[in-house]
Amino acid sequence: MLEDREIVRRFLATNLQVHPAVVSYLRERQNPDLIEDILAAVPEGAVVVGPQHLPGLKTERDGTRFLGDPSLEIISGHAVPNGKGVEFTDFMHYFRDRYTRLSQMMRSRVSPLPIEALVRNSRYRQEDAGIIGMVTDVRTTAKGHRMATLEDATATVPVLFNRDRDIFSEAEKIVPDEVVGVRGKLSSDGNLFFAETLVRPDIPVNNAPYTSDRPGKAVLISDVHVGSDTFLPEAWDRFSSWLATSGAGYLLIAGDLVDGIGIYPGQEHELTIPNIYDQYNAFADMLRRLPGDLQIIAAPGNHDVVRGSEPQPALPPAFTERFPKNVTLVENPALVSLQGVRVLMYHGRSYDDLISMIPGASYTNPAPMMEEMLRRRHLACTYGMRTPIVAAKQDRLIIDPVPEILHTGHVHICGMRRYRNVLCVNAGTWQAQTKFQKQMNIQPTPARATVVDLCTLEAEVRDFSA
């Protein structure tokens, strides 16, 4: 077991200090070779080894890119030429990658046996044991218990969560395709596993976020919906004027930049700009009126012109010709570093799934859903519901490394909370209530922007609605 003390000692031995975020990264992986890799890659003259020195953070494709100002770094999800972004594979490989990486995060807490060994070997019957599996099926039994089928590379086993136990409330939140660990006992006939504890990959309890050592402010928004007849131009103008004097260095936009076309039946009757190119050009004009030294990072959402399956590619050049130079287009999701503070941007399509499956979840209160994503270390666990997912060689929707900030949108309702020192921000919208939202009884909170101080990670919501 690689402990914090040992990790720190190893760095000190080479006269380097180590940031707590790096310590938690290494503790989670339990791989001493990684320390050597990091030490080998630290540039000469460095005093403190920080998150920016972690090799795992470089993208698998063409390395970390520094864009203009080195204070902005796209760690993963930068724009790549059409089609080259994802290496397609089959779902078996995709889910295997998910299982391997998420199970690794909880091995030390579960001490799992391979499921096949557990069920085949009679010596494990009615003995305390642990397993880690992907949930292939979950339901409530006739007697009101929760039953989940867990699968690993060797076999599957049904797991029962007794409704009279404390873990039941957690078991009610189990969703298909998440990876969980359980400890408990196999029945005497070997056909059923009785769960006593439920473990999720989760954020380490002692998660220590990185903060910038020089002043900096980031503004987080999403769901601008340019082109819709409910887009709020006056509120945007107030925001735009404020930004010029705000001293903010970064503007992050987590998708649904424009309203798009053909997104829902009858949308053409609710558009003021019916042409998709014109929508992006109008958005470009809005961005051109913002300060030229503001670093703008824009990711797509389900209303944007790119493929809906996640990870969604960055907007292609055909639509962004008029965008100013200070805009960096990224994929959805994307992990960006602002002066070392890592922001995981994700539009949030999976809210539609989580809200339908997790008891107590609702569109009005998105913040608890962000916590559910963090606990599962996954942005969109469940395959085959509302969130389309691409079978890629690597599961890019896994939350790894732990970011300082999780920035989402989609539900059009502002929400904020901190979970184990991760700042969760759901950014709201620039669109008033639509006909569809009226039918669904969704009351949006338009015209809000969240301002984050990169030195303290303190955040405040500013209201531009009046």
Binding site for ligand D5M (CB under 6 A): 223, 256, 302-303, 352, 363, 410-412, 437, 440, 442
Q: Which does 378 bind (CB under 5 to 8 A by kind): ligand D5M, Zn ion, Fe ion, none?
A: none
CB nearer to Zn ion: give 80 or 442: 442
Secondary structure, 3-state, 113-177: CCHHHHHHCHHHECCEEEEEEEEEEEEECCCCCEEEEEECCCCEEEEEECCCCCCHHHHCCCCCC
CB nearer to ligand D5M: give 228 or 339: 228
8 A C-beta contact, residue 131 and residue 112? yes
**Tokens matching residue 84:** 């080259």
Q: Which does 437 bind (CB under 5 to 8 A by kind): ligand D5M, Zn ion, Fe ion, none?
A: ligand D5M
**Tokens matching residue 201:** 């990959």
Q: Whole-number minimum distance, CB 249 to Fe ion, in Å?
A: 25
Q: Whole-number minimum distance, CB 74 to ligand D5M, in Å?
A: 24
CB nearer to ligand D5M: give 46 or 440: 440
Nearest to 351 by CA among 440, 280, 466: 440
Contacts of 270 (CB under 8 A, 6+ apart): 228, 229, 230, 259, 434, 435
Nearest to 381 by CA among 347, 409, 350: 350
Q: Whole-number minimum distance, CB 366 to ligand D5M, in Å?
A: 9
**One-character DSSP codes across 215-273:** --EEEEE----BTBTTB-HHHHHHHHHHHHHH---EEEEES--B--SSSSTTGGGGBS-
Q: Whole-number minimum distance, CB 418 to Zn ion, in Å?
A: 24
Q: Whole-number minimum distance, CB 334 to ligand D5M, in Å?
A: 18
Among positions 248-267, residues that touch Fe ion (CB under 5 A) are 256
Q: Which does 463 bind (CB under 5 to 8 A by kind): Fe ion, Zn ion, ligand D5M, none?
A: none
Q: What single-letter amino acid sits at 285?
A: D
> Residues in contact with Fe ion, total (CB under 5 A)?
2
SS3 362: coil
Q: Whole-number minimum distance, CB 264 to ligand D5M, in Å?
A: 7
Q: Which does 448 bind (CB under 5 to 8 A by kind): Fe ion, ligand D5M, Zn ion, none?
A: none
CB nearer to ligand D5M: give 152 or 223: 223
Q: Which of 412-431 are b and which e, b meaning 16 or more Cβ less than 10 Å from the residue's Cβ? A: bbbbbbebebbbbbbbbbbb
| Backbone torsions φ then ψ of 162, nearest 5 degrees | -70, 135
For binding to Zn ion (CB under 5 A), which residues are involved?
Answer: 256, 301-302, 410
Site string for Fe ion, 179-218 (x = CB under 5 A): ----------------------------------------
CB nearer to ligand D5M: give 120 or 435: 435
Residue nearest to Zn ion (CB): 410
CB nearer to ligand D5M: give 339 or 431: 431
Contacts of 148 (CB under 8 A, 6+ apart): 135, 137, 138, 158, 159, 161, 171, 174, 180
Q: Which of 208-231 are b and which e, b meaning 16 or more Cβ less than 10 Å from the residue's Cβ? A: ebbbbeeebbbbbbbbbbbbbebb
Q: Which does 363 bind (CB under 5 to 8 A by kind): Fe ion, Zn ion, ligand D5M, none?
A: ligand D5M
Q: Which of 388-400 are b and which e, b meaning 16 or more Cβ less than 10 Å from the residue's Cβ? A: ebbbbebbbbbbb
| Backbone torsions φ then ψ of 407, nearest 5 degrees | -115, 115
Backbone dihedral region of 227: left (phi > 0), alpha (psi from -120 to 50 degrees) or beta?
left
Q: Look up tokens 């779902």; give the residue.
A: 91
Q: Look up tokens 């649904």; give the residue.
A: 256
Strands 327-338 and 295-299: parallel
Q: Whole-number minimum distance, CB 286 to Zn ion, in Å?
A: 19
CB nearer to Zn ion: give 209 or 300: 300
Q: Whole-number minimum distance, CB 263 to ligand D5M, in Å?
A: 7
Among positions 211-250, residues that touch Fe ion (CB under 5 A) are 223
CB nearer to Fe ion: give 174 or 413: 413
CB nearer to ligand D5M: give 302 or 326: 302
Nearest to 404 by CA among 324, 463, 327, 458: 458
Q: Does 178 bind Fe ion (CB under 5 A)?
A: no
Q: Whole-number minimum distance, CB 182 to Fe ion, in Å?
A: 37
Q: Which uninterrupted H or E stretch holds 28?
A: helix 20-29
Q: Which does 440 bind (CB under 5 to 8 A by kind): Zn ion, Fe ion, ligand D5M, none?
A: ligand D5M
CB nearer to Zn ion: give 382 or 431: 431
Residue nearest to Fe ion (CB): 256
CB nearer to Zn ion: give 209 or 255: 255
Q: Whole-number minimum distance, CB 259 to Fe ion, in Å?
A: 8
Q: Which does 442 bind (CB under 5 to 8 A by kind): Fe ion, ligand D5M, Zn ion, none?
A: ligand D5M
Q: Whole-number minimum distance, CB 437 to ligand D5M, in Å?
A: 6
Give me the residues that bind Fe ion (CB under 5 A), please: 223, 256
